[in-house]
A and B are shown apart, each in its own frame.
Chain A
Amino acid sequence: MEWFIANASFIAGLTVTHLSISVGPIIVGAVLAILLARVIPRRLVNPTRTVLGAIYAIPSLALFVALPALIGTSYIGPTNVVIALTLYVITSMYFSARDAFGQVPLATLTTSRALGMNSRQLFVHVELPLAVPGLIAGLRVASASTISIATIGAVVGVRDLGYLFLDGFQRKIPEEIISGIVAVCVIALALDAGLWLVGRLMTPWRNAKVNRV
């Protein structure tokens, strides 16, 4: 506790960095995953599943370090970690996005068509809103894992909350490591609660009281 109090502003700074490198990938990754889930034709579903599954299985440490060599990004700075995290969000969100759209009842879709909606209207006004619960559920999983995986970035020089683990382990300061774990969990849970709230606000009909006759 003593260490935590003495270093509170330092931890706050690391938390800001941590959020700044993870929030972007969560948003961008989610949007890309939703787009992918929509544009990939049925016959390419299985190959896509294999490719994304393989990307998801790449150890984060290896991916962080391989990126500068593979795509010519800068060696230092957060770019590599940001790109890698975005890839993980896409791979994890893609499957839940497909499921979410798959669960929209066929009857609703055909009814909407019959009402004269075009594909764009159908997507924006029917499919997307109805898929929100599933999408939010997937996003909550992706966001929690992203906050957690971002700590590995410290091994390749991104000074986020993971720094507390490496430094605390070298200097044998358990409070430093525990402060890091708690900070990571707190921001992950805060994001999780935020996403849950967004989900509630976006689906007002689910909270409405059903008037039984």
Chain B
Amino acid sequence: MKLTRITAIALSIGAVLGVAGCATASTPSAEPIVIGSQAYYSNEIIAETYALVLENAGYTVDRQFSLGQRDVYVPALEAGEIDLFPEYTGNLLQFFVPDATETAADDVYAALAKSLPAGLTALTMSPATDQDSYNVTKEFASKNKLESIADLATVDGLILGGAPELAERPYGPTGLLEKYGVTVSFQATGDTTVDSLVAGIVNMANVYSADPRIQQLGLVTLSDPKGLFLASNVVPIASEKVTADARKLIDAVSAAMTADDLVAMNVRSVDEKLSAAVIARDWLVSKGLIK
């Protein structure tokens, strides 16, 4: 089983390098489209929607899911080992251009399209977003009268929780100080960020906007009037091996997926503990994208 998978990857690499010219052929090819996903349950659900819709149209798909974070899978995308990957416009742009200044969704998308390595294309972006956001508990927000990040400027003793890399991100402590005059100390909380916020270990936290626990725990997402965060819409990144017909199928999925849909699917994953395939299939059926 393992050998065939390795062979498949080897073949697909060969195909990308050798017969890239044939990539726009219009019939579904027998060669599998390698679909990747991050090690993030929500991203895996989106990848599964791509996989199911392509399989439904007769394509062969090779699922290479939960490939860690960008540092692991972007080199693989660049090397042509993966053909299709659900991404987020803002976060991916920042990966290629760490000091990117665009914040509005369309600007971010345009900048991303320009900064992608050769051979990779950003397909049409979805209205669904899953972006970094700063959140506080309801009690903390009402006690300090917080609505926007700017309101934090008068609060003392702020401790920001987030993934270790947030310490160095442009929207991390440095960006908070430069854009909003907000001083925070940083506490790396890894995958325990939301729990740490609720437990009071930190008093503001970087949470992805589609995280179901924002609603469930009644967290307050602070607005970002000065555009500290880049808009981050769901966007499929495709290699040249993904044909024009296949792209149309994926574009239809992107167009159908709203921000609320994405949160609702995440809620099912966390609450009903269902697998990505089940959640993705139900959603595709509800949108009439597959039967």
Contact = CB atoms under 8 A, between A and B. Distances in A.
Q: Is A–B contact present in the complex under a CB 8 A cutoff? A: yes
Interface of A: 3, 6-7, 10, 16-17, 20-21, 65, 68, 74-79, 154-157, 159, 163, 166-167, 169-173, 176
A16 B1 CA distance: 10
Contact of B2 (A65, A78, A166, A176): A78
Interface in B49-106: 64-68, 71-73, 75-76, 79, 81-82
B186 interface: no
Contacts of B66: 154, 157, 159, 163, 166-167
B75 A75 contact: yes
B68 A20 contact: no
Contacts of A78: 2
Given A76-B9, A163-B66, A170 B41 contact: yes
Contacts of B82: 76
What 9 pairs across the A-B complex have the smallest Cβ distances?
A157-B67, A75-B76, A76-B76, A157-B68, A75-B75, A20-B2, A171-B270, A156-B68, A157-B72
Contacts of A154: 39, 66
Nearest to A74: B81
B162 interface: no
A78 B9 CA distance: 12
Contacts of B2: 17, 20-21, 78
Interface string B4-22: 0110010000000000000
A77 B273 contact: no
A170 B40 contact: yes
Nearest to A159: B66
Contact of A75 (B39, B65, B73, B269): B73
Interface of B: 1-2, 5-6, 9, 36, 39-41, 64-68, 71-73, 75-76, 79, 81-82, 191, 269-270, 273, 275
A76 B79 CA distance: 10
A65 B1 contact: no
A172 B71 CA distance: 25
A86 B82 CA distance: 26
Contacts of A170: 40-41, 191
Contacts of B9: 74, 76-77
10 contacts: A65-B72, A75-B73, A75-B76, A154-B66, A155-B39, A157-B64, A157-B66, A159-B66, A163-B66, A171-B273
Given A65-B71, A166-B66, A76 B36 contact: yes
A6 B75 CA distance: 35
A43 B155 CA distance: 66
Given A20-B1, A156-B68, A171 B41 contact: yes
Nearest to B68: A157
A176 B270 CA distance: 12
Nearest to A176: B273
Nearest to A13: B1
Contact of B72 (A7, A76, A159): A76
Given A74-B76, A76-B9, A163-B66, A172 B270 contact: yes
A83 to B, nearest CB: 13
Contacts of A76: 9, 36, 64, 67, 72-73, 76, 81-82
A16 B5 CA distance: 14
Pick the most buried of A17, A68, A77: most chain B CB atoms within 10 A of its CB: A77
B275 A75 contact: no
Contacts of B39: 154-155, 157, 163, 166-167
Contacts of A173: 273
Given A155-B39, A156-B68, 9 more contacts: A6-B273, A75-B72, A75-B79, A156-B72, A157-B64, A157-B67, A167-B39, A170-B41, A171-B273
A163 B82 CA distance: 20
A10 B66 CA distance: 14
Contacts of A65: 71-72
A110 to B, nearest CB: 47
Contacts of A20: 1-2
Contact of A167 (B41, B76, B81): B41
A104 B273 CA distance: 56
A75 B1 contact: no
A60 to B, nearest CB: 14
A70 to B, nearest CB: 14
Scoring A16, A17, A74 by chain B CB atoms within 10 A of each residue's CB, the highest score goes to A74
B191 A169 contact: yes
A163 B5 CA distance: 18
Contacts of A68: 75
